[in-house]
Amino acid sequence: MLEILTNPDSFFEKKMNEEISFKVPLIIIFVVGVIGAVNTMSMMQAIFAELSSDAAQFASYGSIFAAVVAIISVFIMWVMYALVFYAISLALKGQGELKRVLEFVGYGFIPSIASSIIGLVVMRTVLPTIEFSIENPELMQQSMLSNPIIQASTIIGVIFTIWSANIWIFGLMHSRNLSTKNAIITVGIPIGLYIIYTLYSVFG
């Protein structure tokens, strides 16, 4: 598994000679989702602590629901990335099964595990310093986004996203039989837009 982080080209070349399997990608996506769910619950609990005891008890169910949504969202993101990469590669005359693309895109989420863990640690560090206000959620959001630790975490997250993009480039080269240039275009367009949006959301 370490090979995919150090030499994704060789990793995917070998995978092309194997049957399509979603076992490992599903585990990777689930782990990312669980970490995201814990992160979401931590934030929700900090917000609900500002509510009355009766409301907070009711809101705890909302926290569980938000955690489930966080897990499902990662799976949706996995499928959406695969579909977008597949669609762009069609315009570049790529050839290969969508199922293979989905499999290889799943492996590209491995750096997200480390990124999510860092995000969880950052959130648990920052949350006690944030003043939560149910009456003024925009002020609360601004307070979080202006926090230098949050901003540094965002930069780190972008770096890990670029790492994932590098893995996806090689994954698309093999799963869709693309040239290096076309694989970079296929992955670079959506991921580049995502990175711009992320940076603008925090620093804009």
* Nearest-angstrom CA–CA distance, 60 and 48: 8
> How many residues in total does the chain contain?
204
**84-127 confidence digits (pLDDT tens):** 999 999 999 999 999 999 999 999 999 999 999 998 888 888 87
| Residue 150: band (very low, low, confident or very high) from pLDDT cuts 50, 70, 90 | confident
Q: At residue 141, does pLDDT exceed 90?
A: no
Q: At residue 40, does pLDDT exceed 90?
A: no
* C-alpha 18, offset from chain centre: 26
Mean pLDDT over residues 129-149, rounded? 70
Extents of the domains making up the chain: 20-203
pLDDT at 52: 55
Whole-structure pTM over 0.85, yes or no? yes
pLDDT at 142: 74
* Nearest-angstrom CA–CA distance, 63 and 61: 5
